[in-house]
Copies of this chain bind each other. A is one copy, B any other.
């Protein structure tokens, strides 16, 4: 039985998340990335013209993997939907034996203006995430589940920003407590459920 070999392009994206998180965009070399992915360096350049091109593709795949369509159309109490959405991100990373972290957050510091395509992809990813969350929040405000005195886009942006800070502190402290405080404190306060 001949099975198709896994696409090297897939393999590169799937196995390099930890390298980006560990060293950041500037610190991770193409060599670091191909070694982690277990692919020959030549095949990297068959698929991607530069490290930035690869990072852009990885960010786009990462955003697709956030489950934003499911989030914005999910049924059920909004607080549960949002909490599960955030928790799933962390659990998925733990299950894959990866340290906590977000590719968007990692690429939002320490990437210089010399990489405009990557910065644009990160901006776009954040915008999509915030928009999907804002839809859930807005509907929950209409139903009276979340207080309506704050703008749904602002709440969504504040949630995403708070999560980024929490994941960064979770990473450097090696503790999940910052993420738990994000759920119990930031999210509870922003969604008016305290």
Seen from chain A, the residues whose Cβ lies within 8 Å of a Cβ on chain B are: 20-28, 101, 105-106, 108-113, 119, 122-123, 126, 147, 149-151, 154-155, 157-158, 160-166, 168-169, 171-173, 178, 181-182, 184-186, 188-190, 192, 194
Contacts and interface: CB of A to CB of B under 8 A. Distances in A.
B119 A110 contact: no
Contacts of A22: 110, 112-113
A158 B185 contact: yes
A182 B155 CA distance: 10
Contact of A189 (B113, B122, B150): B150
A186 B178 contact: no
Contact of A150 (B28, B163, B190, B194): B194
B165 A123 contact: no
A158 B190 CA distance: 11
Contacts of A189: 150, 158, 189-190, 192
Q: Across chains A and B, which 10 residue pairs bring their CB atoms closest together, nearest first?
A: A24-B110, A26-B27, A161-B165, A164-B165, A108-B168, A189-B189, A162-B162, A158-B186, A154-B185, A22-B112
Contacts of A165: 105, 160-165
A27 B119 contact: no
A172 B125 CA distance: 12
Contacts of A25: 24, 27, 110
B168 A186 contact: no
A154 B181 CA distance: 6
A151 B173 CA distance: 20
Given A25-B110, A126-B169, A161-B182, 4 more contacts: A105-B168, A150-B194, A157-B185, A163-B165
A144 to B, nearest CB: 16
